[in-house]
Amino acid sequence: MTVLKPTNRPNDARFSCGPTKKRPGWELSALAAAPLGRTHRGGTPKARLAEAIERTAAILEIPDDYKVIITPASDTGAMEGAMWSMLGARGVDVLACDEFGGRWLIDARDELKPEGLTIHHAPYGVAPDYSKVDFKNDVVFTWNATAAGVRVTDGDWIKDDREGLTICDATSAAFAMELPWSKLDVTTFSWQKCMGGEAQHGIAILSPRARQRLREYRPSWPVPRILQLFEAGDETAKIYEGSTINTPSLLCTEDYLDALKWAAKEGGVSALIDRTQANFDALADWVEKTDWIDFLAKEPATRSQTSVTLKFSGKELEGKSEEERWAVSRRMGVLLDREEAAFDVIPHPKAPAGLRIWCGPTIDADDVVALGPWLDWAYHEALANPAD
Q: Which residues bind ligand PLP (CB under 6 A)?
A: 18, 74-76, 100, 142, 146, 169, 171-172, 190
Distance CA 129, CA 91 (A): 18
Which of these, 294, 286, 379, lies nearest to 336 by C-alpha position? 379
CB of 171 to ligand PLP, least distance (A): 4
Distance CA 145, CA 96 (A): 8
Nearer to ligand PLP, 142 or 243 (CB): 142
Distance CA 147, CA 130 (A): 19
CB of 298 to ligand PLP, least distance (A): 19
3-state helix, strand, coil in the chain (%, to 5): 40, 15, 45
Q: Which residues lie closer than 8 Å to 199 by C-beta, 6 or more apart?
A: 19, 74, 190, 191, 192, 252
Handedness of CA 210, 216, 217, 222 (dihedral sign): positive
CB of 189 to ligand PLP, least distance (A): 8
Nearer to ligand PLP, 111 or 235 (CB): 111
Nearer to ligand PLP, 188 or 207 (CB): 188
Alpha helices in the chain (DSSP H): 43-60, 74-86, 99-106, 208-216, 250-266, 269-288, 322-338, 365-384
Pairing, β 144-145 against β 92-96: unpaired
Nearer to ligand PLP, 167 or 335 (CB): 167
Distance CA 283, CA 70 (A): 34
Nearer to ligand PLP, 140 or 239 (CB): 140
Nearer to ligand PLP, 275 or 348 (CB): 348
CB of 344 to ligand PLP, least distance (A): 12
Which of these, 323, 304, 9, 369, lies nearest to 153 by C-alpha position? 304
CB of 66 to ligand PLP, least distance (A): 20
CB of 256 to ligand PLP, least distance (A): 13
Nearer to ligand PLP, 73 or 335 (CB): 73
CB of 8 to ligand PLP, least distance (A): 30
Long-range (24+ apart) CB contacts under 8 A made by 214-217 are: 214/85, 214/86, 217/86, 217/88, 217/89
Distance CA 60, CA 184 (A): 13
CB of 197 to ligand PLP, least distance (A): 11
Nearer to ligand PLP, 145 or 341 (CB): 145
